[in-house]
Amino acid sequence: MRFQRLFLFGVMLVLQGCPAGHFDRTAEFKAKVREGQPVIQALEAFHRDTGKYPKTLAELAPKYLPNLSNGPTDSEHYFGGWRFYTVTNYNEDNSVTYDLSFFMGKGWVAYRPTNWIANDDGHERVLSVGP
């Protein structure tokens, strides 16, 4: 009985040493980033062609994202779990950019040009996205 208590105490100490007390979800976040890359490419192509970002993802269909043809209406900011909205930087130069995010339980992954950000249960970090 005493050994079992010592063993459980040891396990608790090890778990306390883990970052934020949970498992690393980097692979899960990076998989979602790969899924979101075509949307980012479409947003940037739209911007190159028009000089602005779309107000909704529906503006990307069908020219920039053909697979959005059955996608959101102009009033919706969600598609396939992705949330999109434009952001105006009023404090500096009134430039407009965007935020694309996907909620994953107790966290999310988001693209805020020019970085992918992972938030795992309140702990944010920039993701290194490479091969």
Per-residue pLDDT of the chain (131 residues), as tens digits, is: 655 554 555 545 444 444 444 568 889 999 999 988 988 999 999 999 999 998 888 888 889 887 665 555 545 566 677 888 888 877 777 788 889 999 988 899 999 888 999 999 888 999 876 54
Give the range of the structural domain holding residue 74, as residue numbers without chain letter. 24-127
pTM equals: 0.70
Whether 98 is in a domain gets the answer yes
Domains contained in the chain, number: 1
pLDDT at 15: 46
Whether 7 is in a domain gets the answer no
C-alpha distances in angstroms, 23 versus 70, 77, 117, 119? Answer: 36, 31, 17, 13
pLDDT at 101: 92
pLDDT at 116: 92
Extract the tokens encoding 65: 């994202």
Whether 83 is in a domain gets the answer yes
| Gap between the Cα atoms of 21 and 116, Å rounded | 23
Comparing C-alpha atoms, which of 64, 62, 68 is closest to residue 43? 64
CB 109 within 8 A of CB 116: yes
Whether 57 is in a domain gets the answer yes
